[in-house]
Structure 1
Amino acid sequence: MMFKRLGLLSLCLAFVLGCSSSKTYLRVPKNGLTEFLKPQAGKPTLISAHRGGGDYTGYPENCIESFAYLANKAAMIIECDIGLTKDSVLVMLHDDVLDRTTTGKGKLNAITYDYTQSLFLKDNAGTVTKFRMPTLEKVLRWGKGKVVYTLDVKRSVPFEKVVDMVHQTHTEDVSVIITYNAQDAAKVYKLDPNLMISVTIRNEAEYQRHHELGIPDNRMVAFVGTREPSTEHYQFLHQKGIPCILGTLGNLDKMAQAKGDQVYVNFAKNGADIMSTDRPLEMAEALKKK
């Protein structure tokens, strides 16, 4: 009996430790991403790490090690960038060229995937790390149960390949596809009408363009720009059940640095459901005090 009790105690302890070690992970409930992102009074504002990184020493943008670093500190949406190698492998890279973020040089679409694996990634200060460029497949498989992704598909990358990889990895429930115009959003919707799509809606006319192309409100996540929109614009979208992403990256992040991180709390109170930032950990700390 004593051994049974000790065994049960060990199992309980293991469960508790397992939960505590991953307590910050952003897990989508069984009712799905649509319901999870749907705006609702009292819901916590979600943080999106722009380029999956931030200005943190030793952690480059767009790599799994940086995603893990952030996700272990605060619940995160990871915004990340997809490029395509010469031999048609989907990898994570923001720029068309390798020079800024890797030890390589030249255009990504002129090199093979094998060559990318001979390179090391650099952080924002230019310091070389031991990390390598991951594939989209590895990123998606790692992220399930840990983060939600907003996937920025670069111009040379076919949406078909990205959606196919989402299907292959069964990560529809953690993936939002980023688009920059209504035509691309309609293309993604046609490829998979169940996927969530990030669409640029800075005014009602941009909403109408998406609506007229048949994209349902419950598939949209509205990027409202890198300037705060009016409260009326937030209300217009919220009444349709559309969650809103405010891009604080750039000037609004600089405002927070100058005036204090309390401004993030104000952005959230004004209507931002998600904020995309280059300062995800600082934002997380500020929102704790909301």
Structure 2
Amino acid sequence: MNTRTRHLFLVLICFLASSCFRGGTSTDGLPVGKRIQLQSVEELYQFLTYDDNRYPLVSLHRGGPLSGYPENAIETFAYNASLQPVIVECDVRISKDSALVLMHDHSLNRTTTGKGSVNDHTLSELKKLLLLDNNKKLTPYRIPTLAEALAWGKGKVIFTLDIKNDVPYEAVINTIRKERAESSVVVITYSANQAAKVHSLAGDLMISASVNNREDLSRLNEKDIPDNRLLAFVGTREADPNLTKILHDHGIMCILGTLGNLDKQADKKGFQTYAGFIDRGADILSTDRPAEAGRALNFYIKKRGIVSKFVQ
């Protein structure tokens, strides 16, 4: 073996070793910082019910992608979780052979080395693809199944699952049950009817529901969904303070989507802008800038001496 060949061989070995750790199926060794440690669904209700000492959190939009880390990848979740306690917002799609996988787009073209629709490929075919980061850079990471993500995340993070239109709620709920992940999952819904359907199928699961006004909350109450099963997504603009007060009076925490204009505002004005959102009533920030938002929340938490027995 000549010198050039030996060098190429060593590079290949290093890459494969890295891929086994960073992109392989075993994620037990991936680093996590402060964990959200919940042992039961009752503890999830307690942690996500509003009170004056609630623990503000960052939610990772599409799992918190950044350079070298693609969206909807367990390795990306783990990297973000190594920096701060997080809620992981991720997207659920279904394969040709009915496997549930994490993928935002209907098409594979933007975020993978594949082409075509997710549901035109079997799980085996999807697992052969590599993920691209948002700069189109190739990574060693692969498309995870929902089950793999839930198994990794238990006792570490909370997931909010954005279930795409062609995915049956029943299939997602069955996977949650099989992985015994009820204490680490919130199901995202976009209408009172969707929320009611999830609640009828699995009354113990927490639900994220869109609440833009009092009428939205009234419709959820009419569906007999208990307040302690709800998080309120109040939109991508700061909510009316009167609506925030009503939700808090019901014990319902508010998710503010800072992704988009509010993230741009914080980028221009400084990271402490995120703390202002919390001061004015937001409890969870769904953001494309989790490091910056987390930095502000860390200062906020320390300044006010906020602690939670569930964050360790």
In the superposition, the TM-score normalised over structure 1's length comes to 0.90
How do 1:140-289 and structure 2 match up within 5 A? 140-289=150-299
Find out whether 1:86 has 2:88 as its counterpart. Answer: no
Contact 1:48–1:274 (CA under 8 A) maintained in structure 2: yes
Partner Cα distance (2:83, 2:33) in 1: 9
Could you say which residue in structure 2 is the equivalent of 1:35?
Answer: 46
Partner Cα distance (1:180, 1:44) in 2: 25
Q: Which amino acid aligns with 1:80?
A: C
Cα deviation for residue 36 of structure 1 reads: 0.5
Q: Which amino acid aligns with 2:57?
A: L
Moved more, 42-51 or 99-108: 42-51
Query: Could you say what secondary structure the match of 1:226 adopts?
Result: coil
Query: Could you say what secondary structure the match of 1:58 adopts?
Result: coil
How do 1:70-149 and structure 2 match up within 5 A? 70-149=80-159
Query: Could you say what secondary structure the match of 1:286 adopts?
Result: helix
Contact 2:39–2:155 (CA under 8 A) maintained in structure 1: no
Partner Cα distance (1:192, 1:135) in 2: 21
Cα deviation for residue 214 of structure 1 reads: 1.7
Partner Cα distance (1:226, 1:144) in 2: 28
Q: Which amino acid aligns with 1:38?
A: T
Cα deviation for residue 211 of structure 1 reads: 1.3
Q: Equivalent of 1:59, from 58, 61, 69? A: 69
Q: Which amino acid aligns with 1:129?
A: T
Cα deviation for residue 43 of structure 1 reads: 2.4
Partner Cα distance (2:262, 2:239) in 1: 12
Contact 1:57–1:123 (CA under 8 A) maintained in structure 2: yes
Q: Which amino acid aligns with 1:35?
A: Q
For residues 4-52 of structure 1, the C-alpha deviation after alignment (integer angstroms, 9 at most, x for no partner) is xxxxxxxxxxxxxxxxx75411222655111101111132311100110
Cα deviation for residue 109 of structure 1 reads: 1.0
Query: Could you say what secondary structure the match of 1:81 adopts?
Result: strand
Please tell me the root mean square deviation across aligned C-alpha atoms, in Å.
Answer: 1.1
Could you say which residue in structure 2 is the equivalent of 1:44?
Answer: 55
Partner Cα distance (2:171, 2:56) in 1: 31
Find out whether 1:69 has 2:79 as its counterpart. Answer: yes
Could you say which residue in structure 2 is the equivalent of 1:5?
Answer: none
* Aligned length in residues: 269
Partner Cα distance (1:42, 1:167) in 2: 31
Contact 1:29–1:36 (CA under 8 A) maintained in structure 2: no
5+ residue gaps, structure 1: 1-20
Partner Cα distance (1:170, 1:235) in 2: 34
Query: Could you say what secondary structure the match of 2:38 adopts?
Result: coil
Partner Cα distance (1:236, 1:183) in 2: 21
Cα deviation for residue 218 of structure 1 reads: 1.4
For residues 223-276 of structure 1, the C-alpha deviation after alignment (integer angstroms, 9 at most, x for no partner) is 000000121111000001111100111111111111111110000011111110
